[in-house]
Structure 1
Amino acid sequence: MRWKIAALAAATACLVVAAVGVLVHLWTAHDIRSRADMQVFNGVYSAMDVYRRTGTPADGAELDPADLPAALRHPTDGNRHTAYDGRVDADANAGPTMWAGQRTGGPGSRVLAVRVNMSNDFHTLRQLDVTMAVASLAALAAAAPLAVYGAGLLARRLRRVSETAGRISAGDLDARTGPTKGRDEVADIAATVDLMADSLGQRLRTERQFTADVAHELRTPVGGLLAAVDLLPPGETEDLLRARVRDLRGLVEDLLEISRLDAGAERPVRARVPLGAVVSEAVTRTGLDTEVTVAGVISGEVIDGEADAAWTVETDPRRLERIVSNLVVNAHRHGDTPVRVTVEDRTVVVRDHGPGFPKDLLLHGPRRFHTGATERGSGHGLGLTIALGQSRLLGAELRLDNAPDGGAVATLRLPD
């Protein structure tokens, strides 16, 4: 941006210099011709006075000169007339020339003419043009670094605001531009970004506090409901109520987990574990029909005797299981079978064959209580939110994409 601003300033300066140069040239040329016109007009008056008194032309005056312009050869009256002759004779160092003529008597009489050679004046004009061009180039050469420097100052201030906005969009709600120099539009933008960050942070803190309060307040009543269901006589009604209460308890536990992640109260307990085994165990616990492929192992069978497929990683196995189970449950709930889980090196890929992730989710990331699209089915939008939060806690990267041939793809990369 700095170079664009400097180039724009240089182009503007060039246009101004060119416009001033053209105006000065035209005005000076017009002044030269006006002064020459006045000089020859007065000169022919004096020459005519001398001619009438002496009968001979005065110095500088001529009678019917051969190179007299056609406009003055046959004047229709006895008044003084002027004419401009732009012809240039380089050998004689003559021209352009301003002429003035007047008949010495009545119609058909000879014409007394006076000329003024303007070659010296126009030579001075050309020198003035060259001088202005050189001075303009020198001024432009001096102004260009200043323009680059000034544009750099503006670009740095804008870059600072841009970096702050980028940090806020990445989740750093404490990022602020702070006070900036000057009272211009850039300072207004910086203040607006900081105000937006304050407002957004306050709204998110309010939302997180509300989530935590709701989860804590519901935990005890839900526990009581579950205990009460156990007292019901066995039957279809008891099974239905038990399933609904367990769903409600799962929702409350998810909300509590999200509130702890938001508050930064969670701490991973790391251990070195076999990645393939942990992922397979997490998939098994979901109870869903899912195909698991570990590098060199398919459905639990070793291929070509590759026993080194069980790579170990240092991570929190409980949180890793939580991430994988949430991704698998999300794939079955919102996608379509077959659902496949692939483990290779430090990467876990969960793929379904449903409609894929909605564009809004891919653009803004998972959001609580927001599934993104009706074709993704019902849900609270908490599974992916928890998976993303636990991934960040482990220092892992969770990327959500859609496969070219259809279906959602969630890729988890654990750190080295």
Structure 2
Amino acid sequence: MSHRQPRGPRLPAWTATLTWKAAVFITVMCCALAALLGTFVHVSVTNQTVGQAREQALDRLTEATERYEAGDRLGPGVGVDPAGLPAALRELALSGERGTMVATHESRPTMWAAGPADGHRAIAVRVDYAQGARTIDGLDRAILGSSVLAIGATLLVGAFAVTRVTRRLHLTAQVARRISRGDLDARVNDPRTKGPARHQDEVAAVAGALDTMASSLQGKLLSEQRFTADVAHELRTPLTGLHAAAELLEPGRPTELVRDRVAALRTLTEDLLEISRLDARSERVDLDAHHLAPLAERVVRVSGEGTELVVVRDVCVETDRRRLERVLGNLVANALKHGRAPVLVTVDGPVVTVRDHGDGYPDYLVEHGPQRFRTEGTSKGHGLGLTIALGQAAVLGARLTFTNASDGGAVATLRLPFEECADGDEPEGPESGT
């Protein structure tokens, strides 16, 4: 039995930003540099101050030793085994060595110098070290204050510089997201990429590469759209003649097959033309007030047997009736063709769902949406119907999603933009039915 290790506290999302990381890096580096320089200055000045006090104390100790040996009177601050002499320094003097030590005497910092006197006694000199201690303390405060000011100023300047870079990166990321959503006109237009003589940094290079990629992608897509539209348009004339010729054939099974294939080819051509118009974003909506229940009922009635309508709540929406019927008709036709009856069309306010009871949508369609003419394994694929439904829903400002029901079956959900509107078409029929 495995046990999941408890996770530590997670940092806020803003700590992952480049600005925050740069600020932390600058702060750490400034603190490390300030500590290094401050330590170096502190040690240097302390050694110099202590050295000067030590030399002064040793000079006085030499002079006091000469006076003591000559039997002269010792001056102030000089004594043999004086009170307050540090024990470690006294032991050093009794061993025949001379030494110095900084200690506190009568609540004041004092520099002691001691050496052997005679026998088991030590002669010692004390020098006031208060001025030296104040010098070192003042130096430490000055180092600390200047370090804080330097770190603050460096952090502000660094944050300003990093923010300018991250702002450009954010703009580039936003443009990339717009392009991924289909806005191929989006461009970064970084001014550093306009002049060939201007030096470009890495951010400008990325922005320029993104603009170039978007322009190339847009050109290729426009070329493909024009090719699709031209092919579909050119097919119209021979298909019209082929349809007229098929009507002149004698009745029979072969004639029915020819007419059926010609009709399928004409439908495919019209679908290709519709997709080319959707890709070119040349479609314009004709908005009017419509009740959803009667509109969905007409779609169900045209679809034939195997389709049921359930109206939970009818509303009046501002929409394009022809396009909405096209969306619902394609969804129902796809459910009847690739799923199993019954196909349920449910109207619940501004939300319309179309569900069948088949095997459900393929995983790729649920994750990435419909793809033109794609097939999975030996399946027949979904053709252009769902692609057209998705495109027309976008023209209406609606959101069309594809999921699978937990108990089986494909579910297409259309969410229409909804605001209270004046009644348009009068509701027809009951609130729910078949």
What is the TM-score normalised by the length of structure 1? 0.76
1:320 maps to: 324
For the residue of structure 1 that corresponds to 2:309, the secondary structure is: strand
User: Which SS does the other structure have where 2:109 is aligned?
Assistant: coil
Say if 1:44 and 1:319 are closer, same or farther in 2 by CA, change over 3 A: same
Q: Given the superposition, is the C-alpha separation of residues 288 and 210 from structure 1 closer, same or farther in structure 2, using an over 3 Å criterion?
A: farther
For the residue of structure 2 that corresponds to 1:379, the secondary structure is coil
Question: Cα offset for 1:339?
Answer: 2.2
Match of 1:121 in 2: 132
Q: Partner of 1:382 in structure 2?
A: 384
Larger deviation: 162-171 or 33-42?
Answer: 33-42
1:95 aligns with 2:109: yes
One-letter identity of the residue aligned with 1:161: T
Match of 2:292 among 264, 268, 275: 275
Is the Cα contact below 8 Å between 1:353 and 1:408 reproduced in 2?
Answer: no
Counterpart pick for 1:210 among 215, 220, 227? 227
2-structure distance, mates of 1:99, 1:358: 93
Corresponding residue number in structure 1 for 2:13: none
Number of corresponding residues: 393
Contact 2:94/2:122, CA 8 A, preserved across alignment? no
The 5 A counterparts of 1:74-153 are 80-85=97-102, 87-89=103-105, 92-95=106-109, 97-101=111-115, 103=116, 110-138=121-149, 149-153=160-164
* 1:167-196, Cα deviation, whole Å (9 max, x unpaired): 222221111111246843332332232223
Is the contact between residue 63 and residue 111 of structure 1 (CA under 8 Å) also seen in structure 2? yes
Whole-Å separation in 2 of the counterparts to 1:404 and 1:12: 56
Match of 2:266 in 1: 249
TM-score, normalised on structure 2?
0.73
Q: Given residue 178 of structure 1, which amino acid in structure 2 is its aligned partner?
A: N
1:175 aligns with 2:186: yes
Q: 1:190 to 1:364 in 2, by over 3 A?
A: farther
Tell me the secondary structure at the aligned position of residue 132 of structure 1: helix
Deviation (angstroms), 1:258: 0.7
Q: Any idea what the Cα deviations from partners look like across 1:275-317, whole Å, max 9, x if unmatched? A: 3333222233334622112346xxxxxxxxxxxx5x5555433
Letter of the 1:174 partner, please give it: D
Where does 1:2-401 land on structure 2 (aligned, <5 Å)? Answer: 4=20, 7-8=23-24, 9-10=26-27, 13-48=30-65, 54-56=70-72, 59=75, 61-65=78-82, 67-70=85-88, 72-73=90-91, 80-85=97-102, 87-89=103-105, 92-95=106-109, 97-101=111-115, 103=116, 110-138=121-149, 149-180=160-191, 183-223=200-240, 225-226=242-243, 236-270=253-287, 272-287=289-304, 289-295=306-312, 313-358=317-362, 360-370=364-374, 377-401=379-403
The 2-side partners of 1:320 and 1:213 are apart by 27
Residue 370 to residue 412, structure 1, CA distance change in 2 (3 Å): farther
- CA, structure 1 residues 313+119, in 2 after alignment: closer, same or farther (shift >3 Å)? closer
**Structure 2 residue ranges without an equivalent (≥5):** 1-16, 193-198, 420-434
Distance, in Å, in 2 between the alignment partners of 1:73 and 1:56 is 25
Partner of 1:305: none
User: Is the Cα–Cα contact under 8 Å of residues 273 and 313 in structure 1 kept in the other structure?
Assistant: yes
Quote the offset at 1:384 in angstroms: 2.0
Code of the residue aligned with 1:88 in structure 2: it is: T
Q: Which deviates further from its counterpart, 151-160 or 384-393?
A: 151-160
Distance in 2 (alpha carbons) for counterparts of 1:35 and 1:404 = 88
Change (3 A) 1:268 1:43: same
Structure 2: how far apart are the matches of 1:333 and 1:324? 14
Quote the offset at 1:162 in angstroms. 3.0
Picking from 404, 409, 413, the partner of 1:410 is 413
- C-alpha displacement at 1:391, in angstroms? 2.1
Distance 1:64 1:38 in 2: 21
CA distance in 2, matches of 1:286, 1:113: 116
Q: What amino acid is the match of 1:170? A: R
Rounded Cα–Cα distance in structure 2 between residues aligned with 1:192 and 1:133: 47
